[in-house]
């Protein structure tokens, strides 16, 4: 087995364990919006938004140099 597949398999296993452990439904309230979703989805969405902000700020920073 190629080591890349081993890493991908390990990450998938961690993802499944993380999702199972954080499946509880939580209420999200922001300004006048309110909705319920899985805690794992909230954490992943926060991660994606953080990565996007990092990429955008890095692009803007390097473009202005």
Percent of the chain with pLDDT over 90: 17
Q: Which SS3 state, helix, strand or coil, does residue 36 take?
A: strand
At residue 22, does pLDDT exceed 70?
yes
3-state class of 32 per DSSP?
coil
The size of the chain, in residues, is 65
Q: Residue 9's pLDDT is what?
A: 87
**Residue 18 in contact with residue 40, Cβ under 8 Å?**
yes
Q: What does the pLDDT look like over 42-56, one tens digit per residue?
A: 888 888 899 899 999
What is the rounded CA–CA span in Å between residue 24 and residue 37? Answer: 8
Q: How many helices and strands (H and E) does the chain possess?
A: 2, 2
Mean pLDDT for all residues in the chain: 86
Per-domain boundaries in the chain: 24-65
pLDDT at 1 over 70: no
């Amino acid at each position: 087995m190629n080591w890349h597949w081993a890493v991908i398999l390990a990450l998938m296993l961690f993802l499944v364990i993380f999702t199972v452990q954080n499946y509880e439904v939580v209420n999200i309230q922001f300004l006048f919006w309110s909705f319920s979703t899985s805690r794992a989805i909230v954490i992943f969405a926060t991660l994606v938004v953080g990565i996007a902000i990092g990429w955008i700020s890095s692009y803007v920073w390097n473009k202005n140099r």
